[in-house]
Structure 1
Amino acid sequence: MGKRADKVPGRMKRWGAFGFAVLMVLGLGFWVVGLYARHVALSQLSGQSHADASLKVALLRAVLERPRSLPLLLSEDQQVVDALTGRDAGAVERLNDKLERLVTGTSASVLYVINARGVAIASSNWREPLSFVGADYGFREYFRGAVQFGAAEHFALGNVSKRPGLYISRRVGPAAAPLGVVVVKAEFDQLEADWREATRFAFVTDSAGVVLISSVPAWRFMTLAPLPKADMAAIRDSLQFGDAPLQPLPINHVEALGPDAWLVHSVVPGDRAGEYLHLALDVPSTPWKLSYLVPTEPAISSAAREWRLLAFFIALPVFSIFGVYLWRRQAALARIYRAEADRQELERRVDERTRDLSQAHDRLQDEMAGRRETEARLQVVQQELVQANRLAILGQVAAGVAHEINQPLATIRAYAENALVFLERQQQQPVQDNLGAIARLTARIGTITDELKAFARKGRTAPEPVLLVEAIDGAIVLLRSRFSGHLDALSVDEIPAGLAVQANRIRLEQVLINLFQNALEALEGQGDGYVKVSALPQGNEVAITVRDNGPGIAPEILPNLFHPFNTSKDKGLGLGLVISKDIIADYGGRMDVDSSPAGTCFTIFLQRVPQ
Structure 2
Amino acid sequence: MTSSLPDVTEPSLATPAPALLARQRRAWRYFAAAAVAALAAVLFLASHVGEDQAVNDVRSRAGNSAALKVAVLMSELEKQRSLPFVLAQDVEVQDALRSRDPARLEALDAKLFALKSGTGAAVIYLIDPAGITLAASNWREPTSFVGSDYGFRPYFQEGVANGSAEHFALGNVSQRPGLYLTRRVDKDGLLLGVVVVKVEFNGVEDNWRRFPEPTFVTDENGVVLLSAVPDWQFMTLGTLPEADRARLRDSLQFGDAPLQPLPIRTDPERRGAEHVLATVPGTGREDRYLQVSVPVPSTQWTFHFLGPTREPVARAATLAQAVGVLVVLLSVFAAGLVLHRRHLARNAIAAQTAVREELERRVAARTAELRDANKHLVSEMDDRRRAEAGLQQLQEELEQANKLAFLGQITAGVAHEINQPVAAIRSFADNAATFLDRAQTEPVRRNLASIAGLTQRIGAITDELRAFSRKGRSGIAPTRVAAAIDGALLLVGNALHRQGVTLIRPATTEEVWVMGERMRLEQVLVNLLQNAVDALEGTPDARIVLSVSVDADAVVKGASRVRIDVTDNGPGIAPEVMAALFTPFTTTKPHGLGLGLVISRDIAADFGGELQAHSEPGAGTRFTLLLQQARPS
Q: TM-score, normalised by structure 2?
A: 0.51
- Distance, in Å, in 2 between the alignment partners of 1:257 and 1:72 is 48
The residue aligned with 2:45 is 32
Match of 2:81 among 44, 65, 68: 68
CA deviation string 1:522-574 (max 9, x = no partner): xxxxxxxxxxxxxxxxxxxxxxxxxxxxxxxxxxxxxxxxxxxxxxxxxxxxx
Secondary structure (helix, strand or coil) at the match of 1:47 reads helix
| Residue 198 of structure 1: how far off its partner (Å) | 5.0
The residue aligned with 2:289 is 276
5 Å-filtered alignment, 1:334-483, equals 334-336=347-349
| Residue 306 of structure 1: how far off its partner (Å) | 2.9
Aligned amino acid, residue 170 of structure 1: R
Tell me if the contact between 2:38 and 2:328 (Cα under 8 Å) persists in the aligned partners.
no
- Distance, in Å, in 1 between the alignment partners of 2:209 and 2:58 is 19
| Residue 125 of structure 1: how far off its partner (Å) | 0.6
- Distance, in Å, in 2 between the alignment partners of 1:115 and 1:220 is 32
Match of 1:287 among 278, 300, 316: 300
Aligned amino acid, residue 287 of structure 2: G
- Distance, in Å, in 1 between the alignment partners of 2:57 and 2:188 is 52
Structure 1 residue 99 and structure 2 residue 112: aligned? Answer: yes
- Distance, in Å, in 2 between the alignment partners of 1:199 and 1:33 is 28
Bigger radius of gyration, 1 or 2? 2
Secondary structure (helix, strand or coil) at the match of 1:9 reads helix
Secondary structure (helix, strand or coil) at the match of 1:315 reads helix
Secondary structure (helix, strand or coil) at the match of 2:191 reads coil
Of 229-238 and 170-179, deviating more is: 170-179
Q: TM-score, normalised by structure 1?
A: 0.53
- Distance, in Å, in 1 between the alignment partners of 2:69 and 2:148 is 35
Compared CA separation, residues 81 and 314, structure 1 to 2 (3 A): same
The residue aligned with 1:227 is 240
Match of 2:137 among 119, 124, 128: 124
Compared CA separation, residues 263 and 119, structure 1 to 2 (3 A): same
- Distance, in Å, in 2 between the alignment partners of 1:44 and 1:283 is 23
CA deviation string 1:312-354 (max 9, x = no partner): 23323332233224323543454236659999xxxxxxxxxxx
Match of 2:326 among 305, 309, 313: 313
Residue ranges of structure 2 left out of the alignment (5+ in a row) = 1-8, 357-633
Secondary structure (helix, strand or coil) at the match of 1:173 reads strand
| Residue 196 of structure 1: how far off its partner (Å) | 1.3
- Distance, in Å, in 2 between the alignment partners of 1:195 and 1:110 is 23
The residue aligned with 2:162 is 149
Secondary structure (helix, strand or coil) at the match of 2:127 reads strand
Match of 2:276 among 261, 264, 272: 264
Structure 1 residue 19 and structure 2 residue 29: aligned? Answer: no
Secondary structure (helix, strand or coil) at the match of 2:278 reads strand
Compared CA separation, residues 175 and 301, structure 1 to 2 (3 A): farther
Structure 1 residue 299 and structure 2 residue 312: aligned? Answer: yes
Aligned amino acid, residue 80 of structure 1: V
| Residue 257 of structure 1: how far off its partner (Å) | 9.7
Structure 1 residue 5 and structure 2 residue 36: aligned? Answer: no
Aligned residues: 342
Compared CA separation, residues 256 and 282, structure 1 to 2 (3 A): farther
- Distance, in Å, in 2 between the alignment partners of 1:239 and 1:335 is 93
- Distance, in Å, in 1 between the alignment partners of 2:263 and 2:26 is 56
- Distance, in Å, in 2 between the alignment partners of 1:339 and 1:313 is 38
Tell me if the contact between 2:94 and 2:187 (Cα under 8 Å) persists in the aligned partners.
no
- Distance, in Å, in 1 between the alignment partners of 2:89 and 2:269 is 49
Of 85-94 and 247-256, deviating more is: 247-256
- Distance, in Å, in 2 between the alignment partners of 1:15 and 1:199 is 52
Compared CA separation, residues 256 and 54, structure 1 to 2 (3 A): farther
| Residue 204 of structure 1: how far off its partner (Å) | 0.5
CA deviation string 1:467-526 (max 9, x = no partner): xxxxxxxxxxxxxxxxxxxxxxxxxxxxxxxxxxxxxxxxxxxxxxxxxxxxxxxxxxxx
The residue aligned with 1:246 is 259
The residue aligned with 2:599 is none
Compared CA separation, residues 258 and 119, structure 1 to 2 (3 A): farther
Aligned amino acid, residue 233 of structure 2: R
Compared CA separation, residues 86 and 53, structure 1 to 2 (3 A): same
Tell me if the contact between 1:38 and 1:304 (Cα under 8 Å) persists in the aligned partners.
yes
Of 38-47 and 312-321, deviating more is: 312-321
Secondary structure (helix, strand or coil) at the match of 2:274 reads strand
- Distance, in Å, in 1 between the alignment partners of 2:161 and 2:188 is 7
| Residue 13 of structure 1: how far off its partner (Å) | 5.5
The residue aligned with 1:163 is 176
Higher RCO (CA 8 Å, separation ≥ 6 residues): 2
CA deviation string 1:113-162 (max 9, x = no partner): 11111111111011111111111111111100100000000000000000
The residue aligned with 1:86 is 99
Identity of aligned residues (%): 44
CA deviation string 1:385-425 (max 9, x = no partner): xxxxxxxxxxxxxxxxxxxxxxxxxxxxxxxxxxxxxxxxx
Tell me if the contact between 1:207 and 1:287 (Cα under 8 Å) persists in the aligned partners.
yes
CA deviation string 1:284-306 (max 9, x = no partner): 11110100000112222232233
Secondary structure (helix, strand or coil) at the match of 2:22 reads coil
Structure 1 residue 203 and structure 2 residue 216: aligned? Answer: yes
| Residue 104 of structure 1: how far off its partner (Å) | 1.1
Tell me if the contact between 1:278 and 1:291 (Cα under 8 Å) persists in the aligned partners.
yes
Aligned amino acid, residue 35 of structure 1: H
Tell me if the contact between 1:139 and 1:238 (Cα under 8 Å) persists in the aligned partners.
no
Secondary structure (helix, strand or coil) at the match of 2:341 reads helix
Of 55-64 and 293-302, deviating more is: 293-302
Compared CA separation, residues 332 and 82, structure 1 to 2 (3 A): same
- Distance, in Å, in 2 between the alignment partners of 1:177 and 1:110 is 26
Aligned amino acid, residue 15 of structure 2: A
Tell me if the contact between 1:255 and 1:262 (Cα under 8 Å) persists in the aligned partners.
no
